[in-house]
Amino acid sequence: MRLFKNILDGFKEITAAVLIALLISQFLISHITIPTGSMISTININDHMVVSHIPFYYRNPERGEIIVFKHGENNLIKRVIGLPGETIDLNNGKVYVNGVELNEVEYIRHPETTYPQAVAFPYTIPEGHYFVMGDNRENSADSRSFGSIDRNIITAVGGYRIYPFNNIGIVD
């Protein structure tokens, strides 16, 4: 009888630990592995990151932030370029928000690169939506090809790189 009680107690502890881990990964933080090169050189293929779900419970994304969102079955990671109600235009590899050139020297890889676009520019972002682009513009499926994204599909803000070990730190 004592053996059965010990097994049952161990099972309770394991179950509690698994439930707590699931709650944390679903609602607070989670681990993601970067599958594509769309954010090179800010984030590289196979980088491992811990992202936080917490900020988007109480605020909206800001321009320049790296976000994670659902696109079909996949989680994508991109940078917020345009906010609801703004007009985005692309001209000679430069991005304009409401007619003013966006300063992207901190993160952009190839600013002069053009990418096949399914969206007609200038493009006005609907309310409750965001315009996102990868930092590696020549290799990024983003709002230029699928339009703006709904606020409701944004799941996390990009956060902390945990691998490779020689590049650990906050990603911005």
Please state, as a whole number, how many other Cβ atoms lie within 10 Å of the Cβ of residue 11: 10
Domains of the chain and CATH, by start:
32-170 (2.10.109.10)
**155 Cα distance to chain centroid:** 8
CB 35 within 8 Å of CB 137: no
pTM exceeds 0.75: yes
Most confident of 11-20, 24-33, 43-52, 64-73: 64-73
> Of 86, 72, 75, nearest to 53 (Cα)?
75
Residues that are catalytic: 38, 78
The one-letter code for the residue type at 148 is S
Cis peptide before 41 (omega within 30 of 0): yes
In the structure, what pLDDT confidence band is assigned to residue 53 with cuts at 50, 70 and 90? Answer: confident
Please state, as a whole number, how many other Cβ atoms lie within 10 Å of the Cβ of residue 64: 14
Tokens, residue 45: 């293929």
90: left (phi over 0), alpha (psi -120 to 50) or beta: beta
CB 130 within 8 Å of CB 148: yes
In the structure, what pLDDT confidence band is assigned to residue 28 with cuts at 50, 70 and 90? Answer: low
- The mean-pLDDT minimum among 20-24, 42-46, 72-76 falls in 20-24
Helix extents (H) in the chain:
2-27, 55-58, 143-146
The two beta strands, 123-124 and 129-133, are unpaired
- Mean pLDDT of all residues belonging to the chain: 82
> Of 103, 109, 62, nearest to 82 (Cα)?
62
Beta strands, E only, the chain = 29-33, 48-52, 66-71, 74-82, 87-91, 94-97, 100-101, 123-124, 129-133, 149-150, 154-163, 169-170
